[in-house]
Every structure is written in structure tokens, then in C-alpha cells.
């Protein structure tokens, strides 16, 4: 038996051509593949990648709509405080992104470990990894929630949040951090379902909680006259519902990823494998978020209008990133299972098709978003100045997503083999390093910053210089938020 350098002992498997042999191999793996699950080890790949990726993209977009509904509702139903409230939610984006993305990367590690174990047909390894992931998510979220209450204020001070925005931003961040256990639990549960090719159940759970989130947002803000505290509570409550729905489903499934309460414990070997793959991926995402914090800190010196415009634009542009990233996740999971089964040719074919189909989906999403950009920005804030500045950001950043697609697919491909550190380091140094240097290093004339073409001095809301300066492209065109 040959040892892999990545995760588990790999069993060479040539695949089954006849339907009878396919059925036999599926029975060896545990149970037959259900209609809403995807068989990654047999048959054509081109039609299965979008079946996996598009529900993942829809799930990510729906998660983003949690945040977007917060911004839209406080931007339209909080009266004179609407711009300040939108800025408060937007100012927290990089901090929340840094924390959540770190753990989502680790969840991706759990996805790869479980997928590889399924490919090796090692149900015991699957069981240990699943229960380890669940416990780690809850404990990690609790630790972040506790620590976050102490560091929330210093973090916002580092971001140079304007004085009028600071109290709202601090309130939103502290409430959001209290819900980290359920937020992380959902993401780890979704990773478990995706490892068996089931991307529809996580989407369905999030769709239910998403509707609840919008209803609670409206109730807290319009009926109870709350501001950012109301939308933060609604978001946490909705995430709790989605996490609970997936947990119940995991306890009742007949698949090898079934969760048993008595078996909920951390297995040291499984956690080590998960972290070896997931931690570099998480750190990579966290460094992207750190680069965003550097940029957001500079944007925050420009006044409330600039912050609100950046926040609204982010909620639009991230939709295109969710589409391209879903094909990277599909590539990772397909490669993980096929590598565990020793089907290297299918791994290479998966990468090629992920590039092709991901490029088509990304192009369509970018075109649609650019054509409807102003209307989408108006959903979050109807201020003409906010819309104008937000459109400049979108028109600069979205075309550059072609570069993001390339490194996301390649990174996903390598992670499927258990190689996570190399793509993480290369991406962090090559992309995030350039972003930070571009923002922080003065240009040859040592005048306005190149990150958005604006000076260090905070500008008053409505200052015409803000519009003129914003005509220079933001640094964030180099890579996605």
C-alpha cells in the first residue's frame, strides 16, 4: 500500500465501467449515491462540476445577502442615521472577514480530509474527522467570542473608524462575535456535506435561515426602532437556525458522515491532518482580510460617504467572487476524492474543466453586475454621491477577477492533493504583499495615496474633492476582497 504525502494511505482504484461494478463500489463505500449527492469517482466530470459549484456559489451569495440585508435595511430605515449606520456595518467587514475566513479555510481542510478518506473507503477515518470538525468549530467559535469582546474596541481604533461611526461599529461587532460558535458550526457542517458531494442541503438550510434573517431585520429595525444592534442580532439568530438544521440532518443521515453525540470528541490525528491542510488556506484568507484592513483603514480617513460607498460596492462585487470561488471548491473536493481513490487522470481533467467552466461563469457574472451596478448600489444607499463612488470601485475591480480565477483554481487543485502551504505562501506574498506595499509606500511625488487617489486628511461629507480624487482606481483591483 503506497503512502501519500498528503493525508491518508491511498488505495489505487481504476474505476468501474459497468453499472454493476459502479453499484458494487458504491456499496463498498457505505450506501448508494442519493439523488441530491454527486458521484465524483465515476462517469463524466463536466456536467457534475457545475452541479456542485453552483449551489456552493448560491450558498455563498445567500450568506453575503445576510450582510447585504443588514446594510440595505439600516441604510433605508434608520432615518438621519442611515449613512452612519451603513458605514458602521461596512467598517466591520475586514475584521469579521479576517476571523471568519481563517476558520473557513480550516473547514476546507476538513472537507479535503473527509473527501480523501471517502475516496480511500476508510469509514473510520471519515467518522473521526467529522466529529473532530464539529467539536473544533464550536470550541473555536466560543474562544473567538470571548476574546473578541476584549479586542473589539482596539481593532476598530486601529482601523481609524470615524468618531461618529465608532459607537455603532463597536456595538455591531460585539454582538456579531457573540454568535461565532453557530456561524463557524454552519460552515464546518457545510464542508462535511460537500465532502460527499451534497451541496444542496447546505443551500436549503441557509435559504430558510436567510428568509428568517430578513424578517428579523425588518422587525428589529422598523418595529422596535433598533439600529445596527438589531441587524446584528438577526444575523446571529439566523445563523443559529441554519447550523441547527444541518446538525439535525447530520444526526439522521445514513451516510458515512453521520454524527453521533456520544462520538463528539477531538481526534488528535484527524485534527492534525485538518490543520495541516486547512490552516495555511485559512491564513491565506486571513492575510487577504488583513490587507483589506490596511485598505479599509485608509478609506476610513476619507469620511463617512467614502466608507458607505466602499461598503455598498463590496456587497455587489463579492457576488462575482463567490461564483469563481465555488469552482475552486469544486475542484478541491473532486480532486480530494479521486486522489484518495488513485484516479490521477480524473484529477487533471477536473482542473482543466474547472478553469473552463469557472471562466464562463465568472465572465457572465461580471457582465451582469457591471450592467446593473448603479441599481444594485442604490439598494444599499440612495445617496447619489455614494452610488457614484461605489460604481468607480466596481468598474475597476470586477474586470481583474480573471487573475483571481487563475490562482483560486490552481490553489484548489493543489489542496485536493493535500498541498496547501505552497499556494498559500505564493498567494500571500505575490498578491497581498503587493496590495499592502502599494497602499503604504509613498509615490514619487509623496502626495495623495495611491490606494484611492485621496489625501491622508479626512474629508467632509459631500466635499467635491472626494469625487475628483475617487476617479483614480483603488488598489483593490489587484485581488478580491
Band of pLDDT at residue 183, cut at 50, 70 and 90: very high
| Contact residues for 53 (Cβ-Cβ < 8 A; gap 6+) | 199, 326, 327, 329, 330, 357, 358, 361
Determine the average pLDDT of the residues in 165-174.
Answer: 91
Distance CA 117, CA 23 (A): 19
Percent of the chain exceeding pLDDT 90 equals 31
pLDDT of residue 442: 59
The residue that leads in pLDDT, 460 or 326, is 326
Percent of the chain exceeding pLDDT 70 equals 83
Band of pLDDT at residue 474, cut at 50, 70 and 90: very low
Band of pLDDT at residue 14, cut at 50, 70 and 90: very low
Q: Which of 13-17, 168-172, 351-355 has the lowest mean pLDDT?
A: 13-17
Above 80 in pLDDT, residue 464? no
Band of pLDDT at residue 36, cut at 50, 70 and 90: low
pLDDT of residue 77: 77
pLDDT of residue 19: 44
pLDDT tens digits, residue range 303-321? 788 888 887 888 888 889 8
The residue that leads in pLDDT, 426 or 240, is 240
Nearest to 108 by CA among 52, 192, 210, 170: 192
pLDDT of residue 478: 33
User: Which grid cell sits at 276?
Assistant: 495541516
Q: Are strands 9-10 and 2-3 parallel, antiparallel or unpaired?
A: antiparallel
Above 60 in pLDDT, residue 10? no
pLDDT of residue 446: 44
Distance CA 277, CA 8 (A): 12
Q: What is the pTM of this model?
A: 0.74
pLDDT of residue 281: 84
Above 50 in pLDDT, residue 463? no
Distance CA 311, CA 72 (A): 11
pLDDT tens digits, residue range 61-84? 877 776 777 777 887 777 777 778
Q: Which of 7-21, 153-167, 285-299 has the lowest mean pLDDT?
A: 7-21
pLDDT of residue 286: 78
pLDDT of residue 170: 92
Nearest 5 degrees, angle CA 354-CA 358-CA 364?
160
The residue that leads in pLDDT, 93 or 153, is 153
pLDDT tens digits, residue range 362-416? 999 999 999 999 998 988 778 888 899 999 889 988 988 888 899 889 988 998 8
User: What value does the mean pLDDT of the chain take?
Assistant: 80
Above 80 in pLDDT, residue 171? yes
| Contact residues for 472 (Cβ-Cβ < 8 A; gap 6+) | 450, 452, 453, 454
Amino acid at each position: 500500500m503506497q503512502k501519500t504525502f498528503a493525508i491518508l494511505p491511498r488505495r489505487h482504484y481504476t474505476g468501474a465501467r459497468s453499472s454493476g461494478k459502479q453499484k458494487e463500489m458504491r456499496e463498498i463505500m457505505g450506501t448508494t449515491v442519493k439523488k441530491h449527492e454527486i458521484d465524483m469517482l465515476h462517469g463524466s466530470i463536466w456536467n457534475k462540476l457545475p452541479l456542485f459549484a453552483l449551489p456552493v456559489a448560491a450558498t455563498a451569495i445567500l450568506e453575503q445577502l445576510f450582510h447585504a440585508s443588514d446594510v440595505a435595511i439600516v441604510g433605508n430605515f434608520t432615518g438621519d442615521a442611515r449613512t452612519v449606520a451603513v458605514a458602521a456595518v461596512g467598517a466591520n467587514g475586514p475584521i469579521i472577514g479576517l476571523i471568519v475566513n481563517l476558520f473557513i479555510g480550516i473547514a476546507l481542510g476538513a472537507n479535503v480530509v473527509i473527501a480523501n478518506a471517502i475516496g480511500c473507503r476508510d469509514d473510520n477515518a471519515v467518522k473521526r474527522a467529522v466529529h473532530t470538525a464539529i467539536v473544533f468549530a464550536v470550541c473555536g467559535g466560543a474562544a473567538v467570542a470571548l476574546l473578541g469582546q476584549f479586542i473589539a474596541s482596539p481593532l476598530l481604533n486601529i482601523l481609524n473608524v470615524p468618531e461618529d461611526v465608532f459607537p455603532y461599529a463597536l456595538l455591531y461587532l460585539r454582538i456579531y462575535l457573540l454568535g461565532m460558535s453557530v456561524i463557524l458550526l454552519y460552515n464546518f457542517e457545510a464542508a462535511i456535506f460537500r465532502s460527499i458531494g451534497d451541496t444542496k442541503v447546505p443551500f436549503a438550510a441557509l435559504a430558510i435561515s436567510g428568509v428568517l434573517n430578513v424578517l428579523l431585520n425588518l422587525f428589529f429595525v422598523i418595529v422596535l426602532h433598533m439600529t445596527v444592534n438589531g441587524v446584528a442580532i438577526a444575523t446571529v439568530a439566523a445563523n443559529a437556525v441554519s447550523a441547527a438544521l444541518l446538525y439535525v440532518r447530520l444526526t439522521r443521515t445514513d451516510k458515512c458522515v453521520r454524527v453521533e453525540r456520544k462520538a463528539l470528541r477531538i481526534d488528535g490525528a484527524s485534527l492534525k491532518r485538518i490543520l495541516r491542510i486547512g490552516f495555511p488556506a485559512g491564513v491565506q484568507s486571513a492575510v487577504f482580510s488583513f490587507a483589506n484592513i490596511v485598505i479599509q483603514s485608509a478609506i476610513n480617513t476619507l469620511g463617512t460617504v467614502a466608507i458607505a460607498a466602499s461598503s455598498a460596492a463590496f456587497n455587489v462585487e463579492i457576488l462575482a467572487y463567490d461564483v469563481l470561488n465555488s469552482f475552486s471548491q469544486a475542484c478541491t473536493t473532486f480532486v480530494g476524492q479521486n486522489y484518495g481513490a488513485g484516479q490521477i487522470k480524473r484529477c487533471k481533467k477536473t482542473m482543466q474543466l474547472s478553469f473552463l467552466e469557472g471562466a464562463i461563469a465568472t465572465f457572465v457574472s461580471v457582465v451582469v453586475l457591471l450592467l446593473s451596478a448603479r441599481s444594485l448600489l442604490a439598494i444599499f444607499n440612495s445617496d447619489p454621491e455614494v452610488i457614484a463612488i461605489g460604481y468607480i470601485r466596481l468598474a475597476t475591480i470586477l474586470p481583474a477577477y480573471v487573475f483571481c480565477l487563475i490562482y483560486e483554481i490552481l490553489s484548489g487543485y493543489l489542496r485536493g492533493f493535500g498541498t496547501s502551504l505552497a499556494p498559500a505562501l505564493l498567494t500571500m506574498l505575490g498578491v497581498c504583499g503587493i496590495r499592502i506595499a502599494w497602499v503604504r509606500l509613498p509615490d514619487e511625488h509623496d502626495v495623495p495615496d495611491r490606494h484611492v487617489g485621496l489625501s491622508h486628511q479626512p474629508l467632509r461629507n459631500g466635499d467635491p474633492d472626494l469625487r475628483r480624487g475617487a476617479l483614480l482606481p483603488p488598489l483593490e483591483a489587484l485581488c478580491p476582497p
